[in-house]
């Protein structure tokens, strides 16, 4: 697994220039990406780009028939993420809930699990690499780390029916893939935050703490460019 993501970043041809106003928030399902993204957008007066799970005609079907819907779902997400990055680049003051850079995690898992054929994955991968050649690097990538138990607890509280039918094994595999991906991630500055014992929704101190971590990281990046 680790070797694949290392090769992924080695093979990626991405523009060297940085989108100075783009922050990406990533992490496994249920970790709190959308919540944190909105907090960051509010703090820095940025536009929040939500992940395209609303009005997604394929997502519900995918969880009940992965072999049929894996490839079209990943193409749907890839297309939407590419479009979002192009729009964000024009605005250049945005927070992204997930992004095109890490989209490969899900497709790779689907191929390894046999829900996407090798031919489909190769086609997806070629399309992704072609798109990335037209994308700049983000200013900052924020990776929210969590345990499987913590993520599953949040997923249960959220109560989305199509997520509740997913086995623990899938969430364990997803978490392992995320950790492997971010061990190799090297295209921008990154801030890793473990949120297992944090509640930045209801707890004011946790909210202030995580925003302070982000603020300090942004200042550190800006000082490096002076």
205 has binding-site annotation = no
Annotated catalytic residues are 97
Q: How many CB atoms lie within 10 A of CB 128?
A: 20
* Nearest alpha carbon to residue 84 among 74, 97, 73: 97
Spatial contact of 96 and 41, defined as CB atoms under 8 Å apart: no
* Nearest alpha carbon to residue 130 among 122, 119, 142, 141: 122
29 has binding-site annotation = yes
Q: Record the tokens describing residue 176, joined without a space.
A: 């392992």
69 has binding-site annotation = no
2-27 burial string, b = 16+ CB within 10 Å, else e?
eeebeebeeebebeeebbebbbbbbb
27 has binding-site annotation = yes
145 bridge partner residues: 194
28 has binding-site annotation = yes
Give the H or E element holding residue 78.
helix 66-91
34 has binding-site annotation = yes
* Nearest alpha carbon to residue 138 among 188, 86, 88, 79: 188
54 has binding-site annotation = no
Q: Which residue has the tokens 């297992």?
A: 196
103 has binding-site annotation = yes
37 has binding-site annotation = no
136 has binding-site annotation = no
30 has binding-site annotation = yes
167 has binding-site annotation = no
> Per the annotation, where are the binding residues for substrate?
51, 63, 74, 98, 103, 163
> Per the annotation, where are the binding residues for ATP?
27-35
> Per the annotation, where are the binding residues?
27-35, 51, 63, 74, 98, 103, 163
């Amino acid at each position: 697994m680790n070797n694949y993501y290392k090769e992924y970043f080695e093979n990626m041809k991405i523009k060297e220039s940085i989108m100075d106003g783009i922050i990406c928030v990533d992490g496994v399902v249920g970790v709190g990406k959308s919540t944190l993204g909105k907090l960051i957008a509010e703090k820095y007066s940025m536009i929040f780009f939500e992940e395209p799970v609303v009005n997604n005609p394929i997502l519900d079907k995918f969880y009940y028939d992965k072999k049929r819907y894996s490839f079209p779902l990943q193409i749907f997400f890839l297309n939407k993420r590419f479009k979002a990055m192009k729009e964000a680049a024009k605005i250049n003051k945005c927070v992204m809930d997930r992004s095109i850079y890490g989209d490969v995690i899900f497709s790779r898992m689907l191929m390894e699990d046999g829900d996407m054929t090798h031919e489909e994955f190769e086609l997806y991968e070629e399309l992704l690499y072609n798109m990335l050649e037209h994308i700049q690097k983000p200013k900052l990538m924020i990776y929210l780390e969590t345990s499987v138990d913590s993520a599953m607890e949040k997923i249960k509280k959220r109560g989305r029916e199509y997520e509740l039918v997913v086995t623990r094994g899938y969430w364990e595999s997803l978490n392992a893939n995320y950790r492997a991906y971010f061990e190799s991630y090297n295209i921008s500055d990154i801030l890793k935050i473990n949120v297992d014992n944090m509640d930045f929704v209801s707890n004011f101190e946790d909210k202030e703490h995580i925003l302070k971590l982000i603020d300090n990281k942004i200042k550190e990046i800006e000082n490096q460019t002076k």
